Chains A and B, each alone.
Chain A
Amino acid sequence: MPLYLCSSPSGSIPQNLKQKISQAITDVHCNVTGAPSTFVHVFFFEEDKLQVLQNLWGGVSSGAQYQLFGNIRSGRTEETKSTLVNGMCQAVADVLDVELDNVAMATKDIEAKWVMEGGDLLPEPGEEAAWLERHYKKMEALSNQ
């Protein structure tokens, strides 16, 4: 977590740009929130999959061609979320070389305590450094067993 879902018309994003988009989304998320990149998942879907994803896809109320939906940990301020949304839409538009209004985005808050990653409940926003330190020690201990 976060999990960013990207929807686009079938075949509209060349494969070589998907890594660039995932990097751009990861960079914006990490720069804005300070979270480590290992938390950031970006999955691409073509628009015909949206029905199946209905429960994960909170929906973007826009007819934009390229849509992003982020399941992010709750606790972020509205200002932070706005910075995330604006930054990611701009970054994706830049990679695709399209006008900004072709990209839309929405987010949904998920409680950190609802999610387990790496075998541990996710930290609350701002507590990542201590969590990672504990997690790496745990992984090191496991690998030494």
Chain B
Amino acid sequence: MTYCICLIQENQIPDSSLGKLEVGIREIVSKNQLNNLSDLKWIVIPEGQGWTAAKPSTSSVVTLYTPSIEQSVRVDVLNSICDLWTKTTSCHINEIIASVVPVN
């Protein structure tokens, strides 16, 4: 089973981009043969609730849970998520934290 949780800061990503990001994540999952993406949850951190280095956070945290995969595949997936985020949202590369975690 593969699923994804995306924590994003309120007002950081336009609603119009969320659909593109979801399509992009589904494509990354499919391209890397990580099974079907069964669920993708968006969790919006309200303004004033997210902090990075004790300053208001502009970071997105994307966690993709996948079956066990080779590290080389994981790195490809992580790079793809970071590329997707920076190209779709115009965020800085430092504003996307991606993780690919094996499902227990």
Contacts and interface: CB of A to CB of B under 8 A. Distances in A.
Nearest to B101: A114
Given A26-B54, A55-B5, A44 B61 contact: no
B52 A38 contact: yes
A54 B49 CA distance: 18
Interface stretch (B18-26, B29-37, B40-48): B40-48
A116 B76 CA distance: 11
Interface residues of B, number: 33
Given A41-B50, A110-B101, A52 B43 contact: yes
B63 A56 contact: yes
B97 A19 contact: no
Interface in B55-77: 57, 59, 61, 63, 65, 71, 74-75
B78 A42 contact: no
A37 B52 CA distance: 8
Contacts of A43: 7, 45, 49-51, 57
B99 A115 contact: yes
Contacts of B50: 41-44
Nearest to B102: A114
B79 interface: yes
B51 A119 contact: no
A46 to B, nearest CB: 9
A116 B3 CA distance: 18
A118 to B, nearest CB: 5
Given A40-B53, A110-B101, A119 B93 contact: yes
B93 A41 contact: no
B94 interface: yes
Contacts of A19: 51, 54
Contacts of B54: 19, 22-23, 26-27, 37, 40, 42
Contact of B49 (A40, A45, A119, A121): A45
Nearest to B46: A44
Interface of A: 1, 3, 15, 18-19, 22-23, 26-27, 37-38, 40-45, 49, 52-53, 55-56, 110, 113-119, 121, 139, 142
Interface of B: 3, 5, 7, 41, 43, 45, 48-54, 57, 59, 61, 63, 65, 71, 74-75, 78-79, 81-82, 93-94, 96-101
